Chains A and B, each alone.
Chain A
Amino acid sequence: MDSRNIQFMFWGLAVAWGIIAIYVVMLAARENRLQKQLESLKRMLEEKQ
């Protein structure tokens, strides 16, 4: 591979993979938070009833 502008190429690929990875982490974190909220609400309702 030619060495000119190779640094920018790696930055470009890193940005592409990075944005996708960040969004996947955000999705996973949201999923976790929602599952926890659902569980705690279910527990609370069972206790109230």
Chain B
Amino acid sequence: MQKNIRLGIGALAGLLLLRNLYVILFNLPDEMEQGPIYRIFYYHLPAYFTAMCCYMTALVASVLYLTKRNLRYDAIAMSATEVGLAFAAVNLITGMIWGRVIWGIWWAWDARLTWALICWLVYFGYLMLRQAIDDPSERAKNSAVLSIFSFVSVAITYKAIEWWRTQHPGPVLSFRTGQQLIDPEMERMLYTNFFALALLAFVMVTVRLNQETLQRQIDGLRRRAHAL
């Protein structure tokens, strides 16, 4: 993707995030029982959905790599996973801070939290595995298989609040419950901030993908330099 388009989308995402931050802090009212801490949700939930989109991209790219054996798909899977991990970290840590205030503890080993942590660790392992294999096609094949299996943890994390009774709150968004459980203005802001974070994630993935292309050029030049 052209650098100018990437910069434009990145700037749009940055401006939208700043505008959202202003609305979150100064325009939206406090939640009656939780007070201001509920505002963390405007980053906690959108970051989770952004990470899920990244993991889904990695899954599709990994399947495409195994069917077409094109290393470009492997690079997409790796880039999306790395960006997804950053957003999943935002989700986990903001959730811990919210839990400290509402539950009085930083962490509870309930199904949702535990699976979210397992999911993060599994994808971190995916990146570690890549570091351990030198041959590009062997690395791409093994990583693609691991990425596909890792997605099971994403699905379980998503469904955990429906399958098990958890300390983590149950689904509240209208597309999952079919009812309006939270204020429509608050729900709209969750989607708006998700859109901004998803745009930013898209730019990050394309930047990381570009870096993979640069790395391959460097590897090729190194081989030429050795041959001379």
The answer for the CA separation of A30 and B221 in the assembled complex, in Å, is 18
**What are the interface flags for B21-50 relative to A under an 8 Å C-beta threshold, 1 for contact and 0 otherwise?**
100010000100011110110011001000
Does B200 lie within 8 Å of A20, measured CB to CB?
Answer: yes
The answer for the CA separation of A11 and B43 in the assembled complex, in Å, is 12
Q: How many residues of A contact B (CB 8 A)?
A: 30
- Interface residue from A15, A27, A38, A45 paired with B94 (Cβ < 8 Å): A15
Identify whether the interface residues of B are mostly helix, strand, loop, or mixed.
helix
- Interface residue from B47, B101, B225 paired with A5 (Cβ < 8 Å): B101
Q: Please classify how large the interface on chain B is, using the bins under 10, 10 to 19, 20 to 34, 35 or more.
A: 35 or more
Residues 1-49 of A contacting B (Cβ, < 8 Å):
1-6, 8-9, 11-13, 15-16, 19-20, 23-24, 27, 30-31, 34-35, 37-38, 41-42, 44-45, 48-49
Which B residues have a C-beta under 8 Å from some C-beta of A?
Answer: 21, 25, 30, 34-37, 39-40, 43-44, 47, 83, 86, 89-90, 93-94, 97-98, 100-101, 200, 204, 207-208, 210-211, 214-215, 217-218, 221-222, 224-225, 228
